[in-house]
Amino acid sequence: VSVEQLENGAARKDRFRADPKLPRGRRAELDDYKRSGYDRGHQAPAANQSRDQALKDETFYLSNMCPQSPGLNQQAWRELEELTRKWVKQFGTTWQITGPLFYDPAEDDPETADGVLEYTAIGKNRVAVPTHFFKIVVARKGDGDWQAIGFVMENRPYSRPFRFEEYIRPIDWIERRTGLDF
């Protein structure tokens, strides 16, 4: 995300829609979210694409969404996204990786691990509801050194004040639980 991407005010139209590049039956549809109790939570935030209207519009494809608790999406997660935009203005370009996480802390302990992870799915297309979400932010400091921080938050409402320091996790921790190498 660059400072330029946050400026110039491309309009937010909130035109959520199925991704036309994915076949029916293998993609989320608007009906999957209706009366589900979950928001369509952006993974790549629309507010990070203010420079280019086409890019902003593409953030409303359901392939960029995950079912998110309204109390997370509209409050704590929103504030975390706003914080990362402040970092863009402070450090310049940052790289941000956001995604769903299916995680059960019991699986970390050999005494309680059973290899089974329970999760919810919504709608006719059985859109999986993540148990958690992660966000990794990487930036280059003024002296040229890199710095990175990772956050993991459970997919549930949070009370104010949001103490984001409580949700910091090492990037290695996120990698081990997602199977991804950042």
Look at residue 2 in the predicted model and tell me its pLDDT: 66
* Spatial CA neighbour of 26 closest among 127, 130, 131, 121: 127
Task: For residue 42, indicate whether it is catalytic.
Answer: yes
Backbone angles phi, psi at 36, to 5 degrees: -85, -20
Lowest mean pLDDT among 13-22, 47-56, 59-68, 76-85: 47-56
Q: Among residues 5, 28, 32, 42, which one is catalytic?
A: 42
For the whole prediction, is pTM greater than 0.75?
A: yes
- pLDDT tens digits, one per residue of 39-69: 999 999 988 887 788 888 999 999 999 999 9
pLDDT at position 3 over 90: no
pLDDT at position 91 over 90: no
Backbone angles phi, psi at 53, to 5 degrees: -60, -40
Res. 6 pLDDT band, cuts 50 70 90: low
Look at residue 5 in the predicted model and tell me its pLDDT: 64
Structure tokens at 88: 């863009």
CB atoms within 10 A of CB 132: 22
Distance CA 13, CA 58 (A): 11
